[in-house]
Structure 1
Amino acid sequence: MHQRSVLLRACSVALTLSACVQPHQQIQPGADEAAVISRLGEPKETYDLPNGGKRLMWPTQPMGTTTTVADLDSSGKVLSMRQVLQENEFYRAEVGKWTRNDVLVNFGKPFETSYFSRMKREVWSYRYVENNINHMIFHFYFDDQGVLRLTQKTPDPDRDPSMRGRF
């Protein structure tokens, strides 16, 4: 009877852990585009890549905090899959070099855009979760020519009870 109990607990733990697997972890490099789409559904955004391939995106914005990305080569095979709304991805953006198009292709459409006329800056905002704990918003500031001039992260006032009513 003890062995059965241990086996049931082990199966329960395995089932719980398998539910934590993210969509980008379910597809291996080399899979074809049809396999990705059958697993994740039709992408909500698609962008051409310089190497002749394309980037497929499954965003959860405006209220979600993830965007799953599949990069495909020119033959439609998966090169990589990842979740891009996270700090290590955001910090790849190069101030003074990246443009609106670079941000769009790397992170998809923002959940919100604003324009600050005194600064002469357009701001694109993306929700994400920092360290699997803090709900944040990452902002990209563009000049009137569309060049990235500043990035900033702030707590998400919609998700942080201490911020409610402050804005």
Structure 2
Amino acid sequence: MQARLAGLVCAAIFAVCACASLQPEQTGNRLIGSPESSVRDTFGAPSERYRLANGATRWIYSRQPLGFYVYAADFDAGGKLTGFRQMLTENEIYKAQVGVWTKRDIEERFGKPRDPIQYYPLMKREAWSYRLYRDGYLPAHFSCYFDDSGVLQQTMIIVDPLGGGGHGRVR
């Protein structure tokens, strides 16, 4: 009887872990209202943590550089989860404000770049790149270009004709 109960407990734990890794947004959204400890128990330690201007906290779960996803878990001032979403979507990327956002703003939304950072001396631009799926299934790169003072000057999404095999290069 105890062996069967232990087996059922193990199966339940496995199912919860599988859901968290296979459907992170759905799993995260079911946790809305839960404390930080529940999110950490479900998804593990975040890649990064940021204190946002509105007093909220954002945890970043990055699957970069080889993955195509970056998830954000947002918590209110009391430490309760208020939102969980995939950040590397065209909708989120198009919110970037050229001439206004800084490296910090990009990091708060998409995490630190995991691909090598490039610098183009003739343009005087630093380039960060993130992998994503464009239109839901096309491997692509989202690139951000910053001036020497760290202000965003340009963004672009480039579909990768090789299916993602050449990540890390800004084209």
Give the structure with higher Rg (CA): 1
Conservation of the 8 A alpha-carbon contact between 1:111 and 1:127: no
Distance 1:160 1:26 in 2: 27
1:67 is the counterpart of 2:70: yes
How far off its partner does 1:147 sit? 0.7
Distance 1:109 1:93 in 2: 15
1:133 is the counterpart of 2:134: no
Q: Deviations over 1:53-75 (max 9, x none)?
A: 21111100011000111000111
Q: Please report the TM-score for the alignment, with normalisation by the length of structure 1.
A: 0.80
Cα gap change, 1:115 to 1:150, in 2 (>3 Å) = same
Q: Deviations over 1:74-101 (max 9, x none)?
A: 1110111100011111110000110111
Once superposed, which parts of structure 1, at least 4 consecutive aligned residues long, lie more than 3 Å away? 18-21
User: Which residue in 2 is equivalent to 1:120?
Assistant: 124
Q: Please report the TM-score for the alignment, with normalisation by the length of structure 2.
A: 0.78
RMSD value over aligned CA atoms? 2.3
Aligned partner letter, 1:23:
P
Question: Structure 1: where are the runs of 5+ without partners?
Answer: 1-17, 162-166
1:102 is the counterpart of 2:77: no
Aligned partner letter, 2:139:
H
Question: Structure 2: where are the runs of 5+ without partners?
Answer: 1-17, 166-170
Cα gap change, 1:160 to 1:42, in 2 (>3 Å) = closer
SS at match of 1:106: helix
User: Which residue in 1 is equivalent to 2:4?
Assistant: none
SS at match of 2:65: coil
Conservation of the 8 A alpha-carbon contact between 1:127 and 1:156: no
